């Protein structure tokens, strides 16, 4: 089951792919279209720094520290949504993480022993910020990334460039991120997402693998010379024991 679904749905529906940025006046505020210059962004911290930040937020009173964990794309988060995020993080026990270029994953356990993985991507301030949380039931760091991730990442970008929404729906998560909602609604909404419009204008753009594991994979996506997005794909298992896992797009967030 994918976590932070409510936050991702609000982001997509309210901001057509999330273009709001952080609170005015913060150093995390970004420019429209993900403008970061022509050089690829480089993290200004190690994965251990992100782990320590989440640890601090998990034990802090109130919710302001948790709001500071989220990617600036999510804008101003309500206290209700923030409390939901804090509940998903829980006690944040035994964390172990890995960085994959401008993406990162941190395995951890809740107080009840549930295994989850925090998915993070680089923000404008060059720190890793929370995108969403996966309920994986197992450790993901160190597992082998299936070839299907790269194949489907290339295919889903192509569907956005060509306007093939039927193909997009088959390659996107339907429970969170860009693929949430009825088919017609998703097709209309995704057509207006900023990075999708940029992909149409640049048919040569392709996702570049940054790394990952058996459950999540990250891709560099330059839609313009000055626009860099971190594209996130995840594994979704079938609801029953019948069927094969799907390797699907969740979202793509700007690094600046």
* Angstrom distances, CA of residue 201 to CA of 196, 205, 255: 9, 9, 20
- Going by the DSSP 8-state scheme, the letter that residue 172 receives in this structure is B
DSSP bridge pairs for 227: 35, 224
- Listed in sequence order, the residues at least 6 apart from 218 whose beta carbon sits closer than 8 Å to its beta carbon are 100, 101, 102, 103, 121, 209, 210, 211, 212, 230, 231, 232, 233
- Listed in sequence order, the residues at least 6 apart from 184 whose beta carbon sits closer than 8 Å to its beta carbon are none
Per-residue confidence (pLDDT) for residue 104, from 0 to 100: 98
SS3 227: strand
Ramachandran area for residue 186 (φ above 0: left; ψ -120 to 50: alpha; else beta): alpha
Per-residue confidence (pLDDT) for residue 241, from 0 to 100: 62
Other Cβ atoms less than 10 A from the Cβ of 47: the count is: 20
- Listed in sequence order, the residues at least 6 apart from 155 whose beta carbon sits closer than 8 Å to its beta carbon are 167, 171
Containing H/E element for 174? none
Low-confidence ranges of the chain (pLDDT < 50): 1-6, 9-10, 12-34
SS3 191: helix
How far apart CA 132 and CA 248 sit, in angstroms, is 15
- Going by the DSSP 8-state scheme, the letter that residue 2 receives in this structure is B
Dihedral sign, CA of 221, 126, 175, 178? negative
pTM of the predicted model over 0.85: yes
Other Cβ atoms less than 10 A from the Cβ of 241: the count is: 6
Instruction: Cite the beta strand spans of 37-192 per DSSP E.
Output: 93-100, 103-109, 115-122, 128-135
Per-residue confidence (pLDDT) for residue 41, from 0 to 100: 96
């Amino acid at each position: 089951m994918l976590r932070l679904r409510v936050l991702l749905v609000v982001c997509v529906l309210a901001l057509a792919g999330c273009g709001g940025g952080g609170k005015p006046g913060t150093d995390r505020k970004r420019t429209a279209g993900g403008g970061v210059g022509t050089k690829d962004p480089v993290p200004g911290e190690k994965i251990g720094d992100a782990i320590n930040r989440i640890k601090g937020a998990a034990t802090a009173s109130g919710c302001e520290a948790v709001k500071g964990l989220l990617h600036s794309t999510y804008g101003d988060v309500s206290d209700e949504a923030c409390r939901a995020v804090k509940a998903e993080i829980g006690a944040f026990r035994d964390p172990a993480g890995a960085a994959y270029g401008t993406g990162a994953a941190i395995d951890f356990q809740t107080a009840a022993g549930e295994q989850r993985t925090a998915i993070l991507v680089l923000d404008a301030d060059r720190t890793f910020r929370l995108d969403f949380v996966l309920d994986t039931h197992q450790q993901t760091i160190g597992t082998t990334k299936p070839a299907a991730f790269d194949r489907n990442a290339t295919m889903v970008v192509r569907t956005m460039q060509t306007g093939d929404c039927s193909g997009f729906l088959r390659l996107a998560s339907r429970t969170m991120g860009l693929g949430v909602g009825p088919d017609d609604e998703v097709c209309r909404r995704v057509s207006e997402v900023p990075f999708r419009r940029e992909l149409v204008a640049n048919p040569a753009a392709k996702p570049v693998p940054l790394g990952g594991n058996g459950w999540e994979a990250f891709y560099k996506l330059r839609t313009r010379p000055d626009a860099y997005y971190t594209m996130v794909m995840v594994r979704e298992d079938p609801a029953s024991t019948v069927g094969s896992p799907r390797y699907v797009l969740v979202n793509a967030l700007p690094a600046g």
